[in-house]
């Protein structure tokens, strides 16, 4: 199907969703689908919930956010459970402004944009359907037509509470157009759209001297006063302010605390009573979720100003810190690159992970525990299993610094440096060293990095470089060992024979001489030491291997090279240590002989086919590891 056909089909589907009828017909819809009359807060909560919720490691993960916001599960869970959920239940929380506070590039704007785009789509679904009085510029809730003295009866019959008053314009229309017959008032289904200014409003502060309060509350249409004779006639008023247009949905205040005070005063009544003052009219009801965002510095100065005390109690602050998990930071960069024009550039494996390690280190705070340095903390936060640490220890580490993640390097800086690196290198491939070099060069140009921070960050780059050296050696090690796979299997069989003899307290028989020998302790320890098995732990490790062999035998399966991950790693490291001289010669010889060239080609092919490198990045990796081994 081509794009024009898709556009035509989309238009047809939108036409099918449209509905128009009388208030009496609307009440029939309510009988069948009472959720149609939900509040703005309830609609947002249901939108998030309907997208799906899954539990991961005891934490709720909301699928609504999962493809766009990474590493913010805790903050998002708190946001949904402490604000959206109680607000949906009509608790007092809904009478508060939601203020997202966090560092630049932390995802505040992305979060608000997600909610706005989500509501636009949700209003096209059956569960998110919204109905309004036809022809009303504020898309008013039709239930406002029900007189006060009948609202208790309505609740008993429909189980729906009605809040809010009929607007001045619709009050006049009810009398003049419908002769007071509520049941005849026309109702239509509406679809939220920020572009069309339906149910979604955005207010951005500008110069206080030129910005008019009409931007929020609408204004008098002077061209109609001669026709209607009075400024207090609602037909002479344009209900086109952001607060008017955001009715029934979301009102976003960008950089709210930069706003002039007169713009914030309107929020006092709107949050607490659900109405605001416009022109020469009675208070106008509005049902909207007010969401604002700011950074920590502006919030602190706002709180310190006593003139703002009335607003303090009407604000719920939700901290949105930086992500503190390396794997999630990596996903942020992948998403940003995917959405750019450099998505076709080959980025060598581990490049984004190394950049993410540096970024996370800048956001972490030193632990009070002497056995936890920043690298260990970074690994624990990312879910790595480290001997001697449990999930409880990780939770305790997080409690040490409640403001952890509110400072450090933001993702935009890293992507800027990766972009600079891609453009400057002018080749279709970049690696971790290129990016680390670019990050280091960029520190001098970063306007908000102090001299002390720069020194710390340079130290982090050195730390991360060492991490990359180990990763690079492991990659080449695995690729080389594969070329010597028969040697690896022989070494493993030899180790297992010795372990079996050691555990069963028996002797081995020399295959050549036939004489009995004790288990080769030197061989077993040379392998076990590769993965940090101590002298005290060797017996337990060997017994665990024997139990695993027995378990495989009972199932009729053969215990092989891939049956025990840690043992495989130990065999690989031991073999690589034995092969180190061959690797050195093979990777650093400028004119390799035929045998060496064959081995290099095998390793390069393995790196390309199995590990995601291309020929350029694979050869760069080999040269780099060769230089490391020759130091």
φ, ψ for residue 517, nearest 5 deg = -135, 155
pLDDT of 231: 75
Mean pLDDT score, 326-335: 93
Q: What is the pLDDT of residue 229?
A: 72
Q: Where are the alpha helices (DSSP H) in 407-483?
A: 411-425, 432-442, 451-483
- Residues 310 and 561: their CA atoms lie apart, in Å, by 69
30 Rama class: left (phi>0) / alpha (psi -120 to 50) / beta? alpha
Residue-wise pLDDT tens digits, 46-56: 999 999 999 87
pLDDT digit string, tens, across residues 1-28:
688 888 888 888 888 889 999 999 999 9
> Using 50, 70 and 90 to split pLDDT, how confident is the model at 582?
low
Backbone angles phi, psi at 548, to 5 degrees: -65, -40
State both tokens at 125. 């679904």
Per mean pLDDT, which range of 147-151, 191-195, 499-503 is the poorest?
A: 499-503
> What would the mean pLDDT of 602-624 be, rounded to a whole number?
88
pTM (predicted TM-score)? 0.82
- Which of 123-137, 165-179, 420-434 shows the lowest per-residue confidence on average (mean pLDDT)? 420-434
The confidence score (pLDDT) of residue 278 equals 78
* Torsion on CA atoms 262, 268, 270, 273, rounded to nearest 10: -150
Range in 8-12, 421-425, 578-582 with the lowest mean pLDDT: 578-582
Each residue of 509-551: pLDDT tens digit?
877 777 888 888 998 999 999 888 888 889 999 999 998 888 8
Contact 123/199 with Cβ under 8 angstroms? yes
Using one digit for the tens of pLDDT, what is the confidence trace for 57-88? Answer: 778 899 999 888 998 999 999 999 999 999 99
Q: Give counts: helices (H), strands (E), the chain.
A: 28, 18
435 pLDDT more than 90: yes
Sign of CA dihedral 22, 25, 29, 34: positive
* Range 381-401 average pLDDT: 89
Provide the pLDDT for residue 268: 77
- The Cα angle at residue 527 between residues 627 and 350, in degrees rounded to 5: 40
What is the C-alpha radius of gyration for the chain, rounded to an integer number of angstroms? 33
The residues, any chain, with a CB within 8 Å of residue 69's CB and separated by 6 or more, are: 76, 107, 110, 111, 114
Tens digit of each residue's pLDDT (9 = 90 or more) over 265-294: 777 778 778 888 777 777 888 899 999 888
User: Can you give the pLDDT at residue 588?
Assistant: 61
Encoding tokens for residue 582? 């061959």
Compute the mean pLDDT over every residue in the chain, rounded to the nearest whole number. Answer: 87
Using alpha carbons, select from 571, 525, 569, 563 the residue that is nearest to residue 547: 563
Those residues whose C-beta lies under 8 Å from the C-beta of residue 316, and which sit 6 or more positions away, are: 82, 83, 93, 96, 97, 98, 99
Taking 70 as the threshold, does the pLDDT of residue 586 lie above it?
no
Beta bridge partners of 317: 99
Residue 1: per-residue pLDDT: 65
């Amino acid at each position: 199907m081509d794009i024009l056909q898709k556009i035509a089909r989309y238009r047809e589907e939108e036409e099918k969703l449209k509905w128009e009828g009388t208030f009496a017909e609307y009440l029939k819809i309510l009988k069948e689908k009472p959720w149609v009359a939900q509040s703005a807060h309830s609609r947002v909560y249901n939108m998030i919930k309907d997208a799906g919720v899954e539990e991961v490691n005891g934490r709720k993960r909301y699928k609504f956010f999962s493809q766009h916001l990474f590493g913010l599960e805790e903050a998002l869970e708190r946001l949904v459970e402490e604000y959206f959920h109680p607000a949906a239940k009509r608790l007092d929380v809904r009478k508060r402004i939601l203020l997202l506070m966090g560092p630049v590039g932390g995802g505040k704007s992305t979060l608000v944009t997600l909610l706005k785009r989500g509501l636009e789509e949700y209003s096209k679904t059956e569960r998110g359907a919204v109905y309004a009085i036809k022809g009303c510029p504020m898309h008013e809730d039709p239930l406002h037509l029900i007189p006060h003295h009948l609202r208790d009866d309505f609740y008993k019959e429909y189980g729906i509470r009605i809040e809010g008053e009929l607007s001045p314009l619709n009050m006049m229309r009810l009398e003049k157009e419908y002769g007071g017959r509520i049941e005849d008032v026309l109702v239509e289904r509406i679809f939220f759209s920020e572009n069309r200014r339906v149910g979604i409003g955005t207010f951005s502060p500008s110069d206080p001297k030129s910005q008019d309060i009409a931007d929020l509350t609408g204004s008098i249409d002077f061209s109609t006063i001669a026709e209607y004779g009075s400024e207090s006639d609602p037909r002479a008023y344009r209900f086109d302010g952001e607060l008017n247009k955001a009715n029934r949905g979301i009102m976003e205040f960008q950089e709210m605390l930069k706003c002039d005070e007169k713009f914030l005063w309107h929020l006092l009544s709107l949050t607490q009573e659900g109405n605001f003052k416009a022109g020469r009219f009675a208070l106008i009801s509005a049902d909207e979720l007010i969401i604002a965002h700011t950074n920590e510095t502006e919030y602190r100065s706002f709180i310190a100003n006593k003139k703002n005390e009335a607003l303090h109690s009407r604000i719920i602050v939700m901290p949105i810190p930086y992500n503190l998990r390396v794997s999630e930071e990596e996903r942020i960069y992948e998403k940003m690159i995917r959405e750019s024009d450099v998505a076709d550039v080959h980025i060598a494996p581990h490049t984004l992970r190394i950049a993410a390690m540096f970024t996370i280190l800048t956001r972490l705070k030193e632990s009070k525990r002497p056995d936890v340095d920043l690298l260990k903390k970074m690994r624990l936060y990312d879910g790595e299993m480290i001997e001697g640490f449990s999930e409880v220890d990780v939770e305790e580490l997080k409690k040490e610094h409640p403001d952890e993640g509110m400072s450090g390097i933001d993702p935009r800086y890293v992507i800027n440096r990766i972009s600079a690196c891609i453009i400057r290198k002018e080749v279709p491939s970049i690696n971790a060293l290129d990016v680390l070099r670019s990050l280091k060069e960029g520190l001098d140009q970063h306007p908000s990095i102090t001299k002390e921070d720069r020194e710390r960050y340079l130290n982090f780059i050195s730390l991360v470089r060492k991490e990359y050296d180990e990763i690079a050696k492991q990659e080449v090690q695995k690729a080389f060992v594969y070329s010597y796979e028969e040697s690896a299997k022989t070494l493993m069989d030899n180790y297992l024979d010795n372990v079996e003899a050691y555990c069963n307290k028996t002797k081995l028989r020399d295959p050549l001489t036939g004489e009995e020998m004790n288990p080769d302790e030197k061989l077993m320890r040379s392998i076990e030491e590769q993965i940090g098995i101590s002298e005290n732990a060797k017996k337990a490790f060997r017994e665990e291997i024997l139990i695993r062999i027995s378990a495989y035998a009972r199932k009729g399966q053969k215990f092989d090279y891939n049956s025990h991950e840690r043992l495989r790693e130990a065999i690989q490291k031991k073999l690589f240590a034995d092969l180190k001289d061959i690797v050195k010669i093979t990777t650093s010889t400028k004119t390799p002989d035929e045998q060496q060239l064959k081995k290099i080609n095998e390793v390069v092919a393995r790196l390309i086919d199995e590990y995601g490198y291309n020929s350029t990045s694979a050869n760069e990796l080999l040269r780099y590891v060769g230089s490391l081994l020759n130091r």
